[in-house]
Structure 1
């Protein structure tokens, strides 16, 4: 089981390059960055945490630029979007961004994707909230076509383009892992349909039990004709609870990712050092 960290980078937080080096030096596997282009002052969709959205949601850096800074300062650390909001991104532009950062990092990029929950934010991008899930699937399929074909074209309900040329192709073949974020069962179904893995949140798995939900996910994959072993499971926002983490090891979770606050090194580095001890206790 691998261990990574996720952080909302802002102008007041530790810098991506510095955090990337600190994670790599301590033997962690990956760094993840969420995405919000902006946060509208209206609120058609309540924040799941209750109340107003925390400031880092609208102060966060662009994930690709932050991750590229971290990649440039490291040699082995994997970098991932956790998650990129594909319903708010042009697929042709995003396909080039993904393949470029994958080339520049020499195959260290992990493409975490999601469909979003904030209706106001999504609709500011011209996307109808009710059809965002189909739009996301078409955009991902279109990007997969761009990455794998010399003269790609795509014809869907929402995404259409004729034959084109676009390079570079990704460093990883056929493309970086597409890891679908979101809750069970719908995001899990999307991961099985067009992804290479699934990102659930630890707090969302607690109601029915992590083992139960993961078992259902693997059964669904088998029923759909997918090999469950080919669908990597990355649980986000895990606490430093050794009992829970050991259970994740036992049931074959591929990766756990802990959250870091948008703070300076004096706050972040002690958290990393605590997780180093957790890693050692787990035998990793």
Structure 2
């Protein structure tokens, strides 16, 4: 089982390049960054975690720019979005940004996706809440075409373009891994139909053994093998017993939370995490 981290990169937290280097030096496998393009002032949509929206949600860097700095500071660290709110992104621009990041990092990028929860945020991008999952599916299909085809074209319900040349192409073949966030059977169907991996959140909606059993069942229903897909547990608790349950269930990767704090506090926490995973 691999050990990585997720992080909301902000201007007042540890520098993302320094964080990436510190993770690589301590033997961590990956860094995934969260994103929100913006936060509407209205706050009509309640925070799913309850209470006030944490400050870091307002201040996240652009994930692809931030990960580019992390890539330049490291050599082996896997770099991912965790998660990219794909319905809020232009698919042609996103295909180029992610392909460029994958190429310049030497094939280290992973694309974890989600549809989002903040209705007014996605509305500002012209996306309706009730169609957000359909938009996400349409856009990732278009992006895959742009990643893999020399004269890519795509004609879907939300994305439509005639043959184009999109360059560069990603370093990874056929393309960077596509991971879907969420815990429901609907998510798992997207994983086996459109993805390369599952990106569930640790918590009451995900229990490792039960989750892996559901993945096996749904994969086999679609004539796929569970081993075709990676499983990365987001927000994994830094607890030896919980980590052992993930390992026994066959989880491929767990991701610990790195807070949006200064370098001294973060480096001290990374040292504690490193001792736990030894």
TM-score by length of 1: 0.96
List per-residue Cα deviations over 1:132-152 (Å, max 9, x = no partner). Answer: 111111100001111111101
1:240: Cα distance to partner?
1.1
* Of 31-40 and 185-194, the range deviating more from structure 2: 185-194
Would the aligned equivalents of 1:8 and 1:34 in 2 still touch at CA under 8 Å?
yes
Task: Determine the C-alpha separation between the residues in 2 that align with 1:158 and 1:230.
Answer: 29
Task: Determine the C-alpha separation between the residues in 1 that align with 2:115 and 2:90.
Answer: 13
Gaps of 5+ in 2: none
SS at match of 1:65: helix
List per-residue Cα deviations over 1:130-174 (Å, max 9, x = no partner). Answer: 111111111000011111111010011111000011111100011
Task: Determine the C-alpha separation between the residues in 2 that align with 1:266 and 1:77.
Answer: 21
SS at match of 1:202: coil
Would the aligned equivalents of 1:188 and 1:217 in 2 still touch at CA under 8 Å?
yes
2:56 aligned partner? 56
- The count of aligned residue pairs is 278
Task: Determine the C-alpha separation between the residues in 1 that align with 2:217 and 2:132.
Answer: 26
1:155 aligned partner? 155
Gaps of 5+ in 1: none
Would the aligned equivalents of 1:181 and 1:198 in 2 still touch at CA under 8 Å?
yes
Task: Determine the C-alpha separation between the residues in 2 that align with 1:265 and 1:184.
Answer: 36
Aligned CA RMSD, in angstroms, stands at 1.0
1:121 aligned partner? 121
SS at match of 1:198: strand
1:183: Cα distance to partner?
2.2
List per-residue Cα deviations over 1:207-235 (Å, max 9, x = no partner). Answer: xx321122112211111112110110000
1:129: Cα distance to partner?
1.1
Residue 223 (1) aligns with residue 196 (2): no
Task: Determine the C-alpha separation between the residues in 1 that align with 2:3 and 2:216.
Answer: 21
Task: Determine the C-alpha separation between the residues in 2 that align with 1:183 and 1:253.
Answer: 14
2:33 aligned partner? 33
TM-score by length of 2: 0.98
